[in-house]
Amino acid sequence: MRTCGKNKINYMEQLFEQYFWVIIVLALWSLPWKGYALWKAAKLHDLWWFVALLVVNTAAILDILYIFVFSKRKSQQT
């Protein structure tokens, strides 16, 4: 049973080594989007959106949707 856990760790290490640059590019891509989306959610007092954007990492897809779709609806209602 212990070898199964060790194989999983080795597999994860190999994935990390092979896709290191992809991980870095995704992090650099999503960081500004997440920052702007969180700032916009805080500015509009969208507590639930702020928490969702903070916790969920979707490679900036949810962040971009919030910025261009959902926050526009909120600002038009007020």
pLDDT tens, 18-77?
A: 999 999 999 999 999 999 999 999 999 999 999 999 999 888 999 999 999 998 876 677
pLDDT in tens, 37-48: 999 999 999 999
CB-count exposure of residue 49 (10 Å: 0-12, 13-18, 19+)? buried
pLDDT at 4 over 70: no
CB within 8 A of 23, min separation 6: which ones?
16
Q: What is the pLDDT of residue 5?
A: 67
Domain range for 26: 2-77
Give me the number of domains the chain comprises.
1
Q: What is the pLDDT of residue 1?
A: 46
Reported pTM:
0.75
